[in-house]
Amino acid sequence: MPNYRPLAETLRLKSLDNFFGQSYLLNTQYPFRQAIDNHRLHSMILWSPLGTDKTTLARIIVSQVKGYFEQLNAVLDGVKELRAVVENAKKFQKIGKQPLLLVDKIHRFNKTQQDGFLPHIESDLLLLIGTTIKNLSFEINKALLSHLSVYILNALNNRNLSKYYKERSGMSH
């Protein structure tokens, strides 16, 4: 039986060099890209409208860093799962691996749940990469936000999308 993957997974980008529409962030001469390339990440939040591949960008970032990686989805996970991540992170930090945590849809955690990240970011136990489409001023706890660098991704235009689909389908020359 053939092994089929969902189209979205097949089309998902795997490299910063192939990421579309965010050249102002991902240019190799810009600090954001240099931090990734030099494995000097910091906790951050990726904000943008729908459809800009925030989660894909976050996954590419963590794939380039030699560390311990876990992902939470704020729609499905809660404080119990965060506690488990923290316990695992402590083990990996002891053996020299930087624990990275990707939190998709971080705005879906309530303010109290968001407080759960603070001691672990402040102590450098966890590097947090959050993604959101919501207004940061209203949806993200101010104390947490003060510990995160915010990067804004632009909406993709038709030119970016056309180039993306041509390359992914093998039609580019």
Whether the per-residue pLDDT at 34 is higher than 90: the answer is yes
What is the sign of the dihedral through the CA atoms of 16, 20, 23 and 24? negative
Whether the per-residue pLDDT at 146 is higher than 90: the answer is yes
Q: Which of 41, 19, 21, 38 is nearest to 29 (CA)?
A: 38
Residue 72 phi, psi (nearest 5): -120, 150
Q: Which of 73, 11, 53, 60 is nearest to 32 (CA)?
A: 60
6: tokens are: 């969902």
What pLDDT was estimated at residue 173? 45
Flag the least confident range among 2-11, 46-55, 98-107.
2-11
Indicate the domain borders of the chain.
7-13+21-168
CATH 2.60.40.10 fits 7-13+21-168, yes or no: no
Q: Which of 54, 56, 58, 103 is nearest to 82 (CA)?
A: 103
What is the torsion angle, in degrees rounded to the nearest 10, for the CA atoms of residue 139, residue 118, residue 61 and residue 66? Answer: -170
The band of 51, judged by pLDDT with boundaries at 50, 70 and 90, is: confident
Whether the per-residue pLDDT at 27 is higher than 80: the answer is yes
The band of 158, judged by pLDDT with boundaries at 50, 70 and 90, is: confident
What pLDDT was estimated at residue 170? 66
As a whole number of angstroms, the distance between CA 103 and CA 71 comes to 6
What pLDDT was estimated at residue 43? 96
Whether the per-residue pLDDT at 11 is higher than 70: the answer is no
